[in-house]
Amino acid sequence: MGPLISAAELAASLGEENVVVLDVRWGLDDRDAGRRAYEAGHVAGAHYAHLEDDLSDPDSEVAGQMPAPERLARALEKFGIGDETMVVAYDDDVIYTAARIIWMLAVLGHDRAALLDGGWPAWLAAGGPVDSAPAPAPSPGSLTVTPRPQLRSEREDVERALAAGLPLFDCRMDETWDSAGEHIPGARRLPAPGLTDAASGGLESPERTRERLAELGLGPEDEVVLYCGGGVSASRAWVALRGAGYDRASVYDGSWSEWSAHPELPRERHGGDSG
């Protein structure tokens, strides 16, 4: 299945044994906003997964980092996710935190996953069944981990990419980019919101994404590193690239939050002055 599933397709799949729906709504400035939204109403049968509490490494020096693969697998199994499970993730913005979950599943080696096209607003508009009671606790799943480390870059990987002249794209939203004032040297702008369809709120077509990347000189066979402020918007871009056939993209998980915390690392002011 591709990276998107429609509200109608999901509605037809609800109740199937191997389908698990995760509500991953989350607020950057209000960490409990998503949980409150879930309690007010959610896709019937969906489980709530908190990006920080359930799906991030509590021991990392950088907030919001992906847990070690085995640790993440155990967390996902609590939602009933196993090797044969089709995972559907949604949030208020179809390719924000939900895309982060799809990327993490791919790093684990689990490709049976999709985003609800249009997210929660599309579900309401389609008249999909809604519930406000928590979904019953599922039987734990059994998720085999076959890691794909090439999909997740660490700081040392980015340093090697810079030395090798590999493409590096900064996927921060405009307001985050502007407020930071700096970026990793040589990084080109690829704001994640630009990869969406303004009318539907979903991903733009794969053809348009390929055209956009070709204009930036990137081909499907090229290796590329994506980063943002903390790994979420870069995951958003990664899903768009993957859907367009760019299989050699990785997400720098620490992103600018980690890079900027190390004064010894190079950075460049917007406009070209290196520091």
Q: Give the active site residues.
A: 228
Strands 182-183 and 268-269: antiparallel
Return the bridge partners of 22, or none: 47, 89
- Half-sphere exposure of residue 232, counting CA atoms within 13 Å on the CB side? 23
Q: How many CB atoms lie within 10 A of CB 20?
A: 25
Gap between the Cα atoms of 273 and 275, Å rounded: 7
Gap between the Cα atoms of 243 and 246, Å rounded: 7
Gap between the Cα atoms of 275 and 270, Å rounded: 11
Q: Pick from 193, 189, 204: which is nearest to 93 by CA?
A: 193
Strands 168-170 and 47-48: unpaired
Q: Specify the 3-state DSSP secondary structure of 61.
A: coil
Q: Pick from 98, 43, 48, 108: which is nearest to 74 by CA?
A: 108
Strands 249-252 and 224-227: parallel
